[in-house]
Amino acid sequence: MKFNSPQTLEQIATLIGASYVGAADFPVLGMNEIHVVQPGDIVFVDHPKYYDKALQSKATIILINKEVPCPEGKALLISDDPFRDFNKLTRHFNPFQQAQNSIAHTAKIGEGTIVQPNVFIGNHVKIGKNCILHPNVVIYDNAVIGDNVIIHAGTVVGSDAFYYKNRSTHFDRLLSGGNVVIEDDVEIGSLCTIDRGVTASTIIGKGSKLDNQVHVGHDTVIGKQCLIASQVGISGCVVIEDKVTIWGQVGVTSGITIGSKSELLAQSGISKSVSENKRYFGSPAIDARQKFKEIAAIRALPEFIENMKKKNE
């Protein structure tokens, strides 16, 4: 998430009540999660296990809960609770805006686009040409939808990320300040849920097709011309490359990459990154041919055991 205007290290420190290491006028351009940070961004870290990853990332401002040696060319914001203060920054730079109408006056809708009854379109949404939004579709603030997109009834685009910190007494939600980007020629079935990014964009690539009841987690990037069947659940921060096919009831864990032109067979559990141009099956999923051989071997076990008994009699 980039700020509307550049800030300084001192301004940000004052805003959240933190101390800092670095020049007071050190430039701060935005804030992002670790997997999408760029120079000028703030990234937060609150566990020693991840200090090095944050300090060595592309981010140039590290919001951290301990003063540590600052890498050259970077700055630190020292906070007793970086998670809380990251939320403060999201709330300040991207505050929640209450809806005033079912279709916001700031929304931009392209020529030839059909909006059926009871559709909600939030603030600053951009929708391209020749789209169809069927009844009861909900498009949250700041979503960007391309041309020739079809979204079927009951689908929700842009709900908050499922991202919580486990406090001693409750779960503390990380506020979502990102959005959803749906590129041209995408079709989305009924009752799908697509979460927005925490600080960046959840993206569905050009020409991809989603069946009914598909869930796409925050900051996931789906490539071009992918096919995703019903009841697939995709966690946050997943990268699905181009021309991937995912069949029904597949579950995909967070932070992994699905290689291009791969095929994930129904009811598989994808627990780690998978290579391109291969078929996978099972839970945890492995190469489909290997899995089918294992299943065949297990089915043959009773006969094998019986034959061994006869042989030993």
> Which residues have a catalytic role annotated?
218
Count of Cβ atoms closer than 10 Å to residue 172 Cβ: 14
* Side chain identity at residue 276, one-letter code: E
Tokens representing 174? 């990380």
Question: What are the beta bridge partners of residue 181?
Answer: 144, 203
Tokens representing 300? 């043959």
Tokens representing 146? 């391309």
Tokens representing 173? 């939600």
Q: By three-state DSSP, how is residue 121 classified? A: strand
| Residue 214 burial class via C-beta count within 10 angstroms: exposed 0-12, middle 13-18, buried 19 and up | buried
Dihedral angle over CA of 53, 56, 59, 60, nearest 10: 140
Tokens representing 132? 């169809």
- Counting other chains too, the contacts that 107-113 makes at CB distance below 8 Å and 24 or more residues apart are 110/147
Q: By three-state DSSP, how is residue 67 classified? A: coil
Question: What are the beta bridge partners of residue 150?
Answer: 132, 187
